[in-house]
Amino acid sequence: MKTISVDHLCRVEGNGGISATIDGKAVTGVKFSIYEGPRLIERLTIGRTPEEDVSISPRICAICTLSHKNAVIRAMENALSIQVPPKVTLLRELMHMGEFIESHSLHVYYLALPDYVGFPNAIAMASKFDLEVKIALEMKNYGNHIMKTISGRYIHGENPVIGGFGKFPSKEELLWIKNRAIQFMPFVFKTVDLFCEIEYPEIPEAATLYACCEPGNNAYGFWGDEIFLSTGEKIYKDDYKKLTNEFIVSHSYAKRSRYKGEPFSVGALARVNNLGERLKGEAGKKYEKYFNSRWKSNPLFINAAQALEILYCFERIPPLVDELLEYQEDPAIVQYTSKQGKGTGLVEAPRGLLIHHHEVTDGLVSFADIITPTAINAEDIERYCYIAAQKLLDKGQEDKIRDRMDLIVRAYDPCISCSAHMARVEKAPEEDWKNKLRQIKTSSSPLFVGIGNPNLSDDGAGIALARRLRKQGREDIILEEEIEEKGIPREKRNNRSLIFLDALDFQETPGKVNLIPLSFVLQNATLSHKFLPFLKSPMSNEQLKNSFILGIQPESIDQGRKISLSVRLTLEKILEVIQQ
Amino acid sequence: MTKDKIKIGIYELTGCAGDALLILDCEKELVDIFKAADIQSFSMAKSDNIDGELDLALVEGSVSTEKEEEEIADIRKRAKIVVAIGICASFGGIQARFLDQKEWENNFKKVYGDLEMTHTKPVHSKPIDAYIKVDYYLPGCPIGKDQFLNFLTRMLKGNPPEKYPRPVCVTCKFNQNDCLLNRNIPCLGPLTADGCGSVCINHNLPCVGCWGPVEGANYTSEFYLLLEKGFDLEAIKKRMANYAGTRITGFFDQLNKEKP
């Protein structure tokens, strides 16, 4: 059995990894893990005023901060029945465009393009794409500039508030934004051609469901009061739970979503697939030219869709500014009296549908529910990686699996924050644990350390085994409970290698045994935590090389149950080998 | 001469990554500064990161998992100078608002239920100085560009960073803003460390306190001023606590003692 993993996804926002487990000819599992710690943002807003909520909840993410801002404001204005004047809505739209331009141009040029032109990163790519890299950076800065001008800061600007804006940008500032948009047009066309003409690999191709906001008026756009599904169904904003039944998986702090049991995708590709026919002007022409049925079933086309959306934004900005300038007066912040209400705000963040639901009771926030696009996409990311891994395996191209998974995850532009590229293919050690154990025993007289939780059925196997060994008179035995405080006593360690006895889930039939080098487990973030307390005093290299985990595949780790039969039989076998 | 360049590592614990992102957003200035320093680790910007000895470690985010507890201890071991950047690393940030362990546990359960996490255990969010000695603080949500560049330039020259022992009000006066407290708007400017350029008040909006408390902030005075203006006692406390993290506990303890 093998695990192919990308532990630290590079060129994505945040700390995450993906791994596929392969058993012979079958991919048995794919895990997309997010290692960021929990912050409980939804709970933080409770008891706060609506204004404080609008300040706090966008702090979930520095990258989509303004999408969160627009979403929470829409939710609050719905909850408190506030109508804002048209100038406010127009300025919010312009602000949103800034974030799209910033996020999309960074993603397509700096994060995604290097993969398709064969460079490890954007800096190296500059040797061949010097001009593109430079202008793309200017384009990103232009997006940043719009965000700063309207929201007050590059990140976490406080100027957009419930009922309007603290201050409106001046006519000069708005005209600058308009003129700059026009100047960029030739490069924007080039961008669309570049990304729509890339030959995206065929694997993975599989149908999925797409969801995005319905902007209304048969227009393209980035918010609305309904969710539009590629099946043609529409879900009203307050019924968003019909779409997103969230659940939690243990390898990630991000919650997950499914629709009627099936994963679905959100983001640029979802929007173009669902609403592309509504694109007008130059964006409409490019859509006619490039769109085809492959876009409907291959997530790698997300990059093409993003390029098309960059064009949509640049085309929309000049008329948007003109409309804004028609309103001479800057409207004051709309005041409200309501102290009660529930509201949902639907917005498209650059990476997809973002849902904010906030409830206000007696003037204070009493409930908040925030569903982010990366949490929604996590299920489909895993599914597409699974499909790709299996197809490549069938074709005998196992060596391509790691890179392809990397490519799929990156196409989705997940928002999690990181970059160390440490992708590697790990071979799980061979089956013949008996011989290997005998060998270690004769060459280095190891210490056996029993670990686990005896209250959790098979998780107690390691402890039970260690106790049995000690009963039979062995002195080279240590129990977890004896060393939790001090680490392993020096006189006992004395540079000896360690063998940990433990239940270990490596997705095999219950009772199977696996002897895994400790160094392998320490590199695997999903397993290592448990062993760290034992390694308080540093180990020598020699010691680490000769240390192993004797893992037993558990049948159950339910509370209060005894050790299962299959595992008990295995314990006898191990006992025999050690006592020989 | 590469040997003499100071070695810098930039790390992200739990947070929104806004401080690292802001550093990335200073592209133009960074090119020069990064030439003058040896950036050993900056996972948001580059992939060939090395975890070795450092002259200067900049840490963003609060400690929120057991893995991060180990990470922060390791960073301290390797770095001569450790700087907390951003409000989360400095004071725990918004996620440190659940002041006691019980409250945090209850809230954690309400979000995630009883599920045991397989990768790393969550812990109550705390600023990094709850675990290690911190040499300097650069607060802000996110940090300010000018303050950061000023700080980094001084460090590169081997000088200690400039202190900002003044509240937002000082800059606010230079910017000739009307005092919002006079208009009965609950502005936290007098309590909050300077560095943002009084951006919210420049936009006619009250300071939310995202730079955290300024050293020697006169909580008592602001507290009673807001009470006098008719604001609700609990509402004032909550507003003050939003961004102040662990720094506000002392004041609340004192306040509880004063109240009969």
For residues B22 and B147, state if they share a domain.
Answer: yes
Question: Is the residue at B136 inside a domain?
Answer: yes
Which residues from chain A sit within 8 angstroms of residue B68, using beta carbons? 37
Question: Is the residue at B161 inside a domain?
Answer: no
The domain that holds B150 is classified in CATH as 3.40.50.700
Alpha helices in A276-367 (DSSP H): 281-290, 302-326
What does DSSP assign to residue B257? H
Do strands A447-450 and A498-503 pair parallel, antiparallel, or not at all (unpaired)?
A: parallel
Q: Is B179 an 8 Å CB contact of chain A?
A: no
Q: Is B67 an 8 Å CB contact of chain A?
A: yes
Put simply, the answer to whether A40 touches B17 (Cβ < 8 Å) is: no
Q: Is B122 an 8 Å CB contact of chain A?
A: yes
Closest to B90 in 3D by CA, of B34, B41, B48, B147: B147
Please name the residue of chain A whose CA is at the shortest distance from the CA of residue B107: A43
Domain stops at, among B156, B185, B203? B156
For residues B130 and B178, state if they share a domain.
Answer: no
Residue type at position A414: P
Residue B105 has pLDDT above 80, yes or no: no
Closest to B24 in 3D by CA, of A468, A419, A511: A419
Contact present, A580 and A438 (Cβ < 8 Å) = yes
Put simply, the answer to whether B202 touches A152 (Cβ < 8 Å) is: yes
> What percentage of chain B reaches a pLDDT higher than 90?
38
Give φ, ψ of A22 to 5 degrees: -120, 130
Give the number of other Cβ atoms within 10 Å of residue A455's Cβ: 12
Alpha-carbon gap, residue A397 to A404, rounded angstroms = 11
Which residues from chain B sit within 8 angstroms of residue A253, using beta carbons? 112, 117, 122
- 485-514 of A, contacting B, C-beta below 8 A: none
Question: Is the residue at B52 inside a domain?
Answer: yes
Q: Is A529 an 8 Å CB contact of chain B?
A: yes
Alpha-carbon gap, residue A57 to A59, rounded angstroms = 5
Which residues from chain B sit within 8 angstroms of residue A14, using beta carbons? 17
Q: Which domain holds residue B243?
A: 168-258
Residue with tokens 């998974």: A405
Q: What is the pLDDT of residue B55?
A: 93
Question: Is the residue at B188 inside a domain?
Answer: yes
Question: Is the residue at B162 inside a domain?
Answer: no
For residues B68 and B188, state if they share a domain.
Answer: no
For residue A131, give Cα distances in angstroms to A125, A134, A137, A140, B184.
11, 5, 10, 14, 53
Token pair, residue A214, equals 């319905």
Put simply, the answer to whether A525 touches B67 (Cβ < 8 Å) is: yes
Which residues from chain A sit within 8 angstroms of residue B93, using beta carbons? 59
Question: Kind and range of the H or E element at B8?
Answer: strand B6-12
Give φ, ψ of A116 to 5 degrees: -85, -15
Give φ, ψ of B198 to 5 degrees: 50, 45
Domain stops at, among B95, B124, B156? B156
CA distance A262 to chain B (A): 22
Closest to A286 in 3D by CA, of A230, A218, A220, A208: A220
Q: What is the pLDDT of residue A497?
A: 78
For residues B58 and B151, state if they share a domain.
Answer: yes
Q: Is A538 an 8 Å CB contact of chain B?
A: no
Alpha-carbon gap, residue B80 to A246, rounded angstroms = 45
Which residues from chain B sit within 8 angstroms of residue A363, using beta carbons? none
Give φ, ψ of B133 to 5 degrees: -80, 130
Contact present, B229 and A188 (Cβ < 8 Å) = no
Residue type at position B159: N
For residues B102 and B191, state if they share a domain.
Answer: no
For residue A544, give Cα distances in angstroms to A155, A488, A538, A541, B87.
45, 14, 10, 5, 39
| Tens-level pLDDT at each residue, chain A (580 residues) | 677 766 555 555 555 678 888 877 778 778 777 655 556 677 778 888 999 999 998 888 888 899 999 999 999 999 999 999 999 999 999 999 999 999 999 889 888 888 888 776 666 777 788 888 888 889 999 999 999 999 999 899 999 999 999 999 999 999 999 999 999 999 999 999 999 999 999 888 888 999 999 999 999 999 999 999 998 889 999 988 888 765 554 444 445 556 666 778 999 999 999 999 999 999 999 999 999 999 999 999 999 999 999 999 999 999 999 999 999 999 999 999 999 999 999 999 999 999 999 999 999 999 888 888 887 888 888 889 888 988 898 888 888 888 888 888 888 887 653 221 112 223 344 457 788 888 888 777 888 888 877 777 888 888 888 888 888 888 888 887 776 555 666 666 666 778 888 887 665 678 888 777 665 555 443 333 344 444 444 555 566 667 788 888 888 777 777 888 888 888 888 888 888 7
Domain stops at, among B156, B181, B207? B156
Which residues from chain A sit within 8 angstroms of residue B97, using beta carbons? 44
Put simply, the answer to whether B122 touches A38 (Cβ < 8 Å) is: yes
* Domains of chain A with bracketed CATH: 2-34+377-425 (no CATH), 41-369 (1.10.645.10), 433-579 (3.40.50.1450)
Please name the residue of chain B whose CA is at the shortest distance from the CA of residue A49: B235
Question: Is the residue at B114 inside a domain?
Answer: yes
- Which residues, in sequence order, are CB contacts of B178 under 8 Å at separation 6+? none
Q: What is the pLDDT of residue A215?
A: 95
Q: What is the pLDDT of residue A422?
A: 19
Give the number of other Cβ atoms within 10 Å of residue A320's Cβ: 20
For residue A78, give Cα distances in angstroms to A73, A93, A124, A333.
8, 17, 48, 16
Alpha helices in A197-267 (DSSP H): 241-244
Q: Is A42 an 8 Å CB contact of chain B?
A: yes
Closest to A345 in 3D by CA, of A233, A228, A255, A225: A225
Put simply, the answer to whether A154 touches B107 (Cβ < 8 Å) is: no
Contact present, B188 and B239 (Cβ < 8 Å) = yes
Q: Is B13 an 8 Å CB contact of chain A?
A: yes
Question: Kind and range of the H or E element at B21?
Answer: helix B18-25
Token pair, residue A205, equals 């191709």
Task: Give SS3 for B238.
Answer: helix
Selecting from A39, A56, A418 the residue whose C-beta is nearest the C-beta of B242 gives A56
Residue with tokens 């739970």: A241
Selecting from B21, B64, B208 the residue whose C-beta is nearest the C-beta of A39 gives B64
Residue of A158, A330, A362, A526 to mutate when probing chain B, most B C-beta within 10 A: A158
Length of chain A: 580
Alpha-carbon gap, residue A333 to A315, rounded angstroms = 29
Alpha-carbon gap, residue A223 to B144, rounded angstroms = 31
Selecting from A33, A37, A155 the residue whose C-beta is nearest the C-beta of B142 gives A155
Spell out a b/e string for B115-125, using b for 16 or more CB atoms within 10 Å of the CB, else e: eebbbbebbbb
Question: Is the residue at B163 inside a domain?
Answer: no
Closest to A240 in 3D by CA, of A370, A340, A359, A381: A370
Which residues from chain B sit within 8 angstroms of residue A54, using beta carbons? none
Contact present, A48 and A347 (Cβ < 8 Å) = no
For the segment B39-62, the average pLDDT, to the nearest whole number, is: 83
Residue with tokens 């580059």: B46
Selecting from B110, B121, B203 the residue whose C-beta is nearest the C-beta of A167 gives B203
Q: Any bridge partners for residue A477, and if so which?
A: A448
Interface pTM, i.e. ipTM = 0.87
Do strands A477-479 and A498-503 pair parallel, antiparallel, or not at all (unpaired)?
A: unpaired
Residue pairs spanning A and B at CB distance below 8 A: 171
Give the number of other Cβ atoms within 10 Å of residue A482's Cβ: 14
Dihedral sign, CA of A57, A165, A77, A246? Answer: negative
Q: Is B16 an 8 Å CB contact of chain A?
A: yes
Spell out a b/e string for A343-358, using b for 16 or more CB atoms within 10 Å of the CB, else e: bbbbbbbbbbbbbbbb
Do strands A341-349 and A352-361 pair parallel, antiparallel, or not at all (unpaired)?
A: antiparallel
Assign B64 a pLDDT band (cuts: 50, 70, 90): confident
How many domains in chain B? 2
CA distance B224 to chain A (A): 20
Q: Is A65 an 8 Å CB contact of chain B?
A: yes
For residues B19 and B112, state if they share a domain.
Answer: yes
Q: Concatenated DSSP letters for A49-70?
A: -HHHHHHHGGGG-SSSHHHHHH
For residues B149 and B69, state if they share a domain.
Answer: yes
For residues B9 and B134, state if they share a domain.
Answer: yes
Q: What is the pLDDT of residue A454?
A: 78
Per residue, the 3-state secondary structure of A105-139, as one string, reads: HHHHHHHHHHHHHCCCCHHHHCCCCHHHHHHHHHH
Beta strands across the sheet bearing A264-265: A234-236, A226-229, A209-214, A264-265
Alpha-carbon gap, residue A99 to B175, rounded angstroms = 28
Alpha-carbon gap, residue B148 to B59, rounded angstroms = 13
CA distance B208 to chain A (A): 8
Residue type at position A514: N
- 160-219 of A, contacting B, C-beta below 8 A: 161, 165-167
Question: Is the residue at B144 inside a domain?
Answer: yes
- Which residues, in sequence order, are CB contacts of A335 under 8 Å at separation 6+? A163
Instruction: Report CA dihedral (A93, A98, A99, A103) to the nearest 10 degrees.
Output: 140
Task: Give SS3 for B166.
Answer: coil
Q: What is the pLDDT of residue A51?
A: 94
Please name the residue of chain A whose CA is at the shortest distance from the CA of residue B103: A43
Q: What is the pLDDT of residue A537?
A: 47
Dihedral sign, CA of B178, B184, B185, B187? Answer: positive
Token pair, residue B211, equals 């730079």
Q: What is the pLDDT of residue A311?
A: 97
For residues B195 and B150, state if they share a domain.
Answer: no
Please name the residue of chain A whose CA is at the shortest distance from the CA of residue B207: A158
Task: Give SS3 for A265.
Answer: strand
For residues B112 and B184, state if they share a domain.
Answer: no
Q: What is the pLDDT of residue A148?
A: 94
Put simply, the answer to whether A153 touches B199 (Cβ < 8 Å) is: yes
Q: Is B73 an 8 Å CB contact of chain A?
A: no
Of A301-305, B118-122, B231-235, where does mean pLDDT reach its minimum?
A: B118-122
CA distance A105 to chain B (A): 14
Which residues from chain A sit within 8 angstroms of residue B27, using beta carbons? 137, 141
CA distance A164 to chain B (A): 12
Closest to A357 in 3D by CA, of A162, A72, A52: A72
Q: Is B131 an 8 Å CB contact of chain A?
A: no
For residues B93 and B208, state if they share a domain.
Answer: no
Q: Is B97 an 8 Å CB contact of chain A?
A: yes
- Which residues, in sequence order, are CB contacts of A524 under 8 Å at separation 6+? A3, A5, A7, A426
For residues B133 and B234, state if they share a domain.
Answer: no
Segments of A456-561 assigned E as strands: 477-479, 498-503, 513-517, 548-552
